[in-house]
Amino acid sequence: MKRTDPVIHNRGKMDGPLTSKQLDSYEDNGYLMLDDVFSDEEVSIMSEHLNDTLAAQRGQKSETVVLEPEGDEVRSIFEVHKHNDFFSRLAANEHLVKAAQQLLGSDVYITQSRINFKPGFSGKEFYWHSDFETWHVEDGMPNPRAVSCSIILTDNYEYNGPLMLIPGSHQWYVSCPGETPDANYEQSLQKQELGVPDPESLNKLFEKAGKQIDRATGKAGMVLFFESNTMHGSSGNISPLPRSNAFFVYNSLENQLEEPFGNAKPRPEFLANRDQIKPIQPRSTFKEKAGLK
């Protein structure tokens, strides 16, 4: 089903760092990669904080800390924008927040944040999915007016399981097979809860993309913005190279979570923030860090 919502909301309303060409590219593809946001020094500082934070959580038990399936290595830590000074400032980074404001056409807040550390040799695949489907059905996000921002903190190569995206896929809602033809927008999204996108639909998205799959490869420090409905996934990582990143989901202040549109109970706060929402005030991450030390 063709998307009816805009991709860039209220274009031109909010000032920000993204050029007209970058906005066009995001609108066409459903994602945008930026390699000029952070300096090498800033990348080192971010990596250090990420590693320190993971090391500090080792052996801890907490709802927001996800361990590897085998062993007790920390895989992800959620809610870092609330519980960690450095990542609070990074989530509010002027460049990132203003870019998100430009894309979403309003003030923004964080619905979910995490840092990820994926060891080499054993990273598992993530099958194709659109985040908005989960956020709508399970979290009650009304419309696709959110953007994920991944700050990549290790070099990403073709061979260490980089994020893959189908260009233009954000323009289509994929329904599950067997759906009644007259199903409406919300019903079709609810059905997706039951399974993964079917091969026929994925084939169609792939054909429409001119048989292209893009990969988020690049140097540490690269920033990837991708639209909430963009179809993405990743292969496993048998290479020796670990992959780590900081991940923030910015949502429009005008698109706050309601009751879930599916039948399930809302997911917990650490996966989908709905309490005490207020707009992020953009600030400079690294200058303030110097002051805080």
**Interface contacts to its own copies, rule CB under 8 A:** 120-121, 125, 127-128, 157-159, 161, 164, 199, 202-203, 206, 211, 213, 215, 233, 235-241
Which pair of tokens denotes residue 293? 């030390």
| Smallest gap from residue 202 Cβ to its own copies (A) | 6
Integer Cα distance of 126 and 291 in angstroms = 40
Selection from 157, 153, 158 nearest residue 116 by Cα: 153
Nearer to its own copies, 29 or 64 (CB): 29
Selection from 252, 83, 58, 76 nearest residue 150 by Cα: 76
Integer Cα distance of 98 and 100 in angstroms = 5
| Smallest gap from residue 255 Cβ to its own copies (A) | 30
Between the CA of residue 31 and those of 25, 40, 277, what are the distances in Å?
8, 23, 26
Integer Cα distance of 114 and 149 in angstroms = 11
| Smallest gap from residue 259 Cβ to its own copies (A) | 33
| Smallest gap from residue 235 Cβ to its own copies (A) | 4
Residues 6 or more apart whose CB falls under 8 angstroms from that of 200 comprise: 177
| Smallest gap from residue 242 Cβ to its own copies (A) | 11
Nearer to its own copies, 55 or 238 (CB): 238
Cβ-contact 186, 262 below 8 angstroms: no
Residues 6 or more apart whose CB falls under 8 angstroms from that of 279 comprise: 107, 108, 109, 253
Nearer to its own copies, 122 or 188 (CB): 122
Integer Cα distance of 249 and 113 in angstroms = 6
Nearer to its own copies, 59 or 199 (CB): 199
Integer Cα distance of 117 and 49 in angstroms = 12
Nearer to its own copies, 233 or 266 (CB): 233
Nearer to its own copies, 59 or 240 (CB): 240
Nearer to its own copies, 123 or 260 (CB): 123
Integer Cα distance of 98 and 108 in angstroms = 9
| Smallest gap from residue 92 Cβ to its own copies (A) | 34
| Smallest gap from residue 121 Cβ to its own copies (A) | 5
Which pair of tokens denotes residue 279? 């707009």
